[in-house]
Homo-oligomer: A and B are copies of this chain.
Amino acid sequence: MPPTKVLMLVCDGMADRPLKDKGNRTPLEAAKTPNMDALAAAGATGIMDPIGPGIRPGSDTSHLALLGYDPYKVYTGRGPFEAAGVGLKLNPGDIAFRGNWATVDAKGKVLDRRAGRIKEGTQALAKELDGVEIDGVKFILKAATEHRTVLVLRGKGLTCSVTDTDPHKENLVAGCKAIDNTPAGKRTCKVLNEFTKMSMKLLKDHPVNQKRIADGKPPANIVLVRGAGMTPEMPPLAKAWGFDPVAIVGVALIRGICTLAGMEVPVVKGATGGVDTDMMAKARAAIKALGRHDLVFMNIKAPDIGGHDGDFDLKQSSIERIDEAVGYIKDNISSDVGLIITADHSTPVPVKNHAADPVPLLMFGDGVRTDNVKAFNEKAVAHGGLGRLRGKDLMPIMQDWVDKAEKFGA
């Protein structure tokens, strides 16, 4: 019988390129992955371009594609997904940014882009600015982890076609410009620059900053923002594809994407979105969630971090820990579950950034046409029976697999 449920595991940034001084192996090839290899041997494999061949995906755009959305239609910037990821309720049309508490001099020249990586008192600082209105635009500010914030502009006649107020370098002055010369661009810049000045005014003598200065720490006396995006109208995944989905994800950006897709995103204790995340806790949560949901979407961020750091060994060990979690999943899923393992993009160690190399793809479960591939790594699965697919193909393939698909025609 075809499966009735799907568990989809995205190993963030797992795919890589072969490294000469590692015997021409990728981290996934070098890693001991007996569980994923066994699933590959018993399943079907292939490679996948998350967006398209040669298109270097962001984690956000790739996840949008994997969840069945067209990133070229719904994605204008990272802000809305970060904002949703820290729990802000957004409306379509809201302009959202991610931001930092930072330190500037009296003229707005940036001295420290992270205000000494401030940890304490940011909730109190956010309270000063959250809810202010400028020219009919409401500013919603939320403190996130450490020096991070999210900022939402809600009002009429706004656009996300504005530059960051964050100059991205110290010793430059904060402030944004309109990217196109439209009335909305001018208006958005004007109110955002006013908000930025207001943040300097209201934070300057705040007790939290008075204490920081007394302690010899840089004050958090400005909010710098970047990654403007307009909150898209996204039909809920449940409605679009007929699944009852849940997301087991730690990292805020992906939590935000899943939230905007209308998915339940429970907090899993120990799931940090970092290399220290409790992968077994996530695996247990995923298996448990299969009792109540027919689509469990998992993201494990760790391998991406090793890629960005250019740390082959860290990436390899992250993958080996994922394989242990996969072992738990393999031993605990029932036969009515189809399992998909893939990645959202390559983060090659020699590149230290995302790259467009296709990612490995594995389908295991009833009805899958097995192929001759016996191991789960970039080179082996490139000979797999699934051939070369795209990220946007996954949702329809899953929908067809569990027999929820409607026929096009008769």
Interface secondary structure of A, over-half rule: loop
Copies in the complex: 2
Residue A387 lies at the interface, judged by CB distance under 8 Å to chain B: yes
CB pair A56–B356 under 8 Å, yes or no, is no
- Knowing A399-B54, A407-B354 touch, does A371 contact B367 (C-beta < 8 A)? no
Interface, chain A (partner B; CB < 8 A): 1-2, 17-18, 20, 24, 26, 44, 47, 51-62, 71, 75, 77-78, 227, 253, 348, 350-351, 353-358, 366-372, 378-379, 382-390, 393-400, 403, 405-410
- Contact, CB under 8 Å: B356 / A396: yes
Q: List 10 A-B contacts (CB under 8 A).
A: A54-B398, A55-B400, A58-B410, A61-B409, A62-B409, A71-B408, A351-B403, A355-B400, A356-B405, A382-B387
In the complex, residue of chain B having the shortest beta-carbon distance to the beta carbon of A396: B54
Residues in chain B near residue A388, CB distance under 8 A: 386-389
Looking at A77, A351, A399, which has the most chain B CB atoms within 10 Å of its CB? Answer: A351
Given the complex, which residues of B lie within 8 Å of A62, measured CB to CB? 409
Which of B54, B379, B382 touches A405 (beta carbons < 8 Å)?
Answer: B54
Closest Cβ of chain B to A103, distance in Å, is 24
- Of all chain B residues, the one with the shortest Cβ separation from A348 is B367
Q: Are A385 and B393 in contact (CB under 8 A)?
A: no
CA distance A18 to B44 in the complex (A): 12
Given A369-B378, A371-B383, A378-B369, is A75 in contact with B399 using a C-beta cutoff of 8 Å?
A: no
Q: Which residue of B lies closest to A61 (CB)?
A: B409
Complex CA gap A355/B399 in Å reads 10
Contact B47 A350 (CB under 8 A): no
Known: A26-B369, A52-B393, A78-B409. 20 other contacts (CB 8 A): A2-B348, A20-B366, A53-B396, A54-B393, A54-B399, A54-B405, A55-B396, A56-B405, A56-B407, A56-B408, A62-B409, A356-B396, A357-B369, A369-B378, A369-B382, A382-B384, A386-B388, A387-B387, A387-B388, A388-B389
